[in-house]
Amino acid sequence: MAVRRPMRAFYVTLSIIAVVGAYLILRQSQLLRGKQSVTETLRAAPVAPMGAVAASGHVLGPDSAPVEIVEFADFECPACARFAILEWPYVQERLIPTGRLKWRFMDFPLRGHTSSPAAHLAAGCAAEQGRFFEMMDAIYNRQNEWVTERRPERKLRDYARQVGLDLSRYDTCVETRHAQPGVDADYAEGERLGVDETPTFFVNGREWPGILVYDQIKAIVDSLAPAGGARPGAAGARRR
Amino acid sequence: MRHRMAVAVLALLGLLSSVYLLLYKLGVVGTLVCGGSGACERVQESPYSVLFGVPVAAYGVAGFAALLAVALAGLGEAGAGRAWPSRLLAAFAALGFCFAAYLTYLEIAVIHDICRWCAFCALLITAILVISVLGARSFRPAPEP
């Protein structure tokens, strides 16, 4: 049966709304940006030189690594948690030990996220005991648990105990906000670089458009530092 | 028929908005476009953004998808000239309106933040309710050929 003209116009309008809406959502959701080819993106001109960023962040991987990926992240951000839970374990287990990749986590608690500052401070205090990445895993894996608390400090302290921190040192650090200057320095660096969403990644000083997944990170490392060219180095976590 | 067309368009807009909020909740969207206030994210991260273990946005996706499906069925051969799509739309819209009113109350009185996307969805379901009730009341069966 032929569709009448007014109905055809209606269905066309509906289809246009659906297509435009789906495109806008995909563009915002990083699904499209994340699909960009690694080689194509690496060829692009640098978006922002990293400059003085070497002075801050939580680092895992040897200083001699030819590839450095910097991640600006917020503990309250669901996309950051998704990356931390689904992609980060493979990066940590398979790429960092090769000595070809150095990872730098930069605190970037977004304005308006009310629970995030406490989590970044707690992770900073864990960093003072050399357990930043363990604490980061605990915070992200239980994001749904602490983020809904009116006062998340109690839950965060539980995680500190579970990752084996010296609780008296942790408590002192939290009470005196001893790790806060490091968090603030990371945030200021992000603002300087124009970071306005999380997670935002920089690959050797070049902003990566959208979110990264493990396969892309491996392709980046293989492209910039072919296996055999680097020696496994000291990969202990440290605060810069 | 025009009522059903209008409902279909509004339901599609609601469906797209709900999908956007659901993708944020699932961690696929990095940061919500929300005027830079962070209010949308505070609402989406509140304990009230999950109901029976399911993100509230998923209920929005299901509800608007159901409204869209019924509206389109009411425009097709199955429902054109029949009363049941109009009645079903009014019933679904009434349910959706009550749910949206409860969520809006939580935003204003409990969370103390207004998520613009949620407010947009609440306005859409209100408009859908008004249109679908008017459509059901003014419905006249198609004359026999």
Instruction: Render pLDDT for A119-170 as a digit per residue (tens, 0 to 9).
Output: 999 999 999 999 999 999 999 999 988 987 888 999 999 999 999 999 999 9
Which residue segment(s) compose the domain that B43 sits in?
Answer: 2-137
Task: Kindly identify which residue of chain B lies nearest to residue A85, measuring between CA atoms.
Answer: B27
Give Cβ neighbours of residue B52 (< 8 Å, ≥ 6 apart): none
- In this prediction, residue A8 has a pLDDT band, given cuts at 50, 70 and 90, of confident
Tell whether B16 is within 8 A of chain A (Cβ).
yes
Answer whether residue B144 is part of any domain.
no
Instruction: Give residue limits of the domains in chain A.
Output: 47-239
Answer whether residue A45 shows pLDDT above 60.
no
Contacts of B42 in chain A (CB under 8 A): 112-114
pLDDT tens digits, one per residue of A89-126 = 999 999 999 999 999 999 999 887 888 999 999 999 99
The residue behind tokens 């500052």 is A117
Contacts of A77 in chain B (CB under 8 A): 30-31
Q: Cβ–Cβ contacts within 10 Å for residue A149, how many?
A: 14
B24/A113 Cβ within 8 A:
no
- Report the CATH number of the A47-239 domain: 3.40.30.10
Task: Kindly identify which residue of chain A lies nearest to residue B19, measuring between CA atoms.
Answer: A25
Structure tokens at A20: 């435009």
A110/B38 Cβ within 8 A:
yes
Contacts of A25 in chain B (CB under 8 A): 16, 19-20, 23, 29
Give Cβ neighbours of residue A162 (< 8 Å, ≥ 6 apart): A138
A77/B12 Cβ within 8 A:
no
Distance of CA A30 to the CA centre of its chain: 14
Residue A196's pLDDT is what?
83
What ipTM is given for this predicted complex?
0.82
The CATH number linked to B89 is 1.20.1440.130
> How many structural domains comprise chain B?
1
Tell whether B46 is within 8 A of chain A (Cβ).
yes
Prediction pTM value: 0.69
Cα four-point dihedral sign A104, A105, A107, A109 = positive
A82/B26 Cβ within 8 A:
yes
Residue A73, Ramachandran bin (φ over 0: left; ψ between -120 and 50: alpha; else beta)? beta
Cα four-point dihedral sign A53, A54, A59, A64 = positive
